[in-house]
Amino acid sequence: MSTKPVPIYGKSDNGKGYTIYFDINTKKAYRGNHKEINSAKYWIVFFAFLVLMRGLAEVSFADSWFVKLLLIIIGVPISILIGRIVQKKVYCKIAGDIFIRLHAGRLSDPG
């Protein structure tokens, strides 16, 4: 694949899932199987985030528009970075190209 594929469909059943990607240049669809997530790591990160959010709720930010703008400018890139890191850890590499079949106007399960 010459460019990043675009995710067009995702499905998750009982912890096992997949995402279908479409490569615009080659006009092919690819399937990427999801990795299983360690449940202990998930809960540790969840509660750490919960503690952080509750701690931030107690902080009173200044009414200055500059401070609020600065927090947004810093917060948005950090959020995007964390999201990309999590996505790379959860999704595995693309397995190979697939053929998409339509049944009554709906995508069928390629697996």
pTM: 0.47
pLDDT digit string, tens, across residues 4-35 = 777 787 777 776 777 888 888 887 888 877 77
Q: State what percent of residues in the chain have pLDDT above 90.
A: 11
Q: What's the half-sphere exposure (Cβ side, CA atoms, 13 Å) at 82?
A: 8
Q: Which is nearest to 98 in space by CA: 8, 4, 16, 36? A: 8
| Confidence band for 1, pLDDT divided at 50, 70 and 90 | very low
Rounded Cα distance, 59 and 61, in Å = 6
Rounded Cα distance, 64 and 70, in Å = 10
What is the sign of the dihedral through the CA atoms of 52, 57, 60 and 63?
positive
pLDDT digit string, tens, across residues 38-84 = 778 888 988 998 998 888 777 776 677 888 888 889 989 999 998 88
